[in-house]
Amino acid sequence: MSLSLPPHLEALVRRKVESGQYDSFGQVIEEALLLLQERDQVETLRRERLREEVARGLYQADNRQLVEREEVFRALHRKPATASE
């Protein structure tokens, strides 16, 4: 397979190899693709989680299990932020 990169990306790959961090251009590209795949998986999980939350909220609304707005905001402020969000 032949690969053409814009000059700024080619320079980035070259710097990574020259730094000794990677042995070849192919290794840099492989790592980049693995990271892209990981990012896609994280995004898929986030979308699934959001769908689940929306479905739960709709179920609760349909069953009159509503929560006051102030309670929701208090809970959001108490909830710790995580790196995966």
pTM above 0.75, yes or no: no
- Digit-coded pLDDT (tens) for 38-49: 999 999 999 999
Rounded to an integer, what distance in angstroms lies between the CA atom of residue 70 and that of residue 11? 52
Rounded to an integer, what distance in angstroms lies between the CA atom of residue 85 and that of residue 67? 23
DSSP 80: P
For residue 51, pLDDT beyond 80: yes
Work out the end-to-end distance of the chain between its first and last CA atoms, rounded to an integer number of angstroms: 36
Token pair, residue 30, equals: 């492989």
For residue 6, pLDDT beyond 70: yes
Rounded to an integer, what distance in angstroms lies between the CA atom of residue 14 and that of residue 54? 45
Rounded to an integer, what distance in angstroms lies between the CA atom of residue 66 and that of residue 57? 9
pLDDT at position 74 is 87
- Digit-coded pLDDT (tens) for 68-83: 888 888 888 887 766 5
